[in-house]
Structure 1
């Protein structure tokens, strides 16, 4: 499916399901990995993950398009367009859009990294574990206000 075909499809879904026109741009974006689609609030454009179409077919992508069109139409009308807003949940249920897209095969869940750095107080020996590297000169010990040393674990 091309971007032009997607554009026509989104316009058709918008007209049939919402009774409103879609006047912006819809396109595929192959760089999307963990999401089925996204709506841009500044440009009002919609991007769809083409891998969802390849793996799950047109029905699933239609539900994703309806989800993004809910954001689109609610945002343009000045109503609650965020995932947690009652307006969004109500409209999504009315049109039959998906709340969450299905995960793509081969995409592993993010794992939490263990602590990689340890800050040690030079005075009292208090230890602070950190996942990210920090500049120890910018911080002091919370217990005794002594200087800190950075150690990699």
Structure 2
């Protein structure tokens, strides 16, 4: 049986969690990209990092929407609430997108560079943010049918 109220709440949590995961992963990527520019209170650098994070989040979200929906659906149906599943799924999505990036398929040695590690870490952070907001309650909308065979 399905609890409609809990399903609606979980769908809302999933949407907010997806957005939070994208923003946190995009923020990590932007921070890593501008790590050479010391922010030391310079508002231009801070605004640049925040702007880059938001643009990165929107581009990544558009690219990963369907695969992420598939992985979230699997987690919801199977009631997978594990932090390891969600962090691993985020890392897998980010790394897969990076491997199939604009330069075409990257070689195995390119995957082991520091850029690949940064992308993988951004995916892990995004997956952890999603788990924190929505993944911990995956499958909460499913209710067990009542056992009517027992009599008092």
Radius of gyration: which is bigger?
Answer: 1
Superposition TM-score, scaled by structure 2 size: 0.36
Which structure has more helix as a fraction of its residues? 2
Q: Provide TM-score, normalisation by structure 1.
A: 0.36
Structure (1/2) with the larger strand percentage: 1
**Higher RCO, 1 or 2 (CA under 8 Å, sep at least 6)?**
2
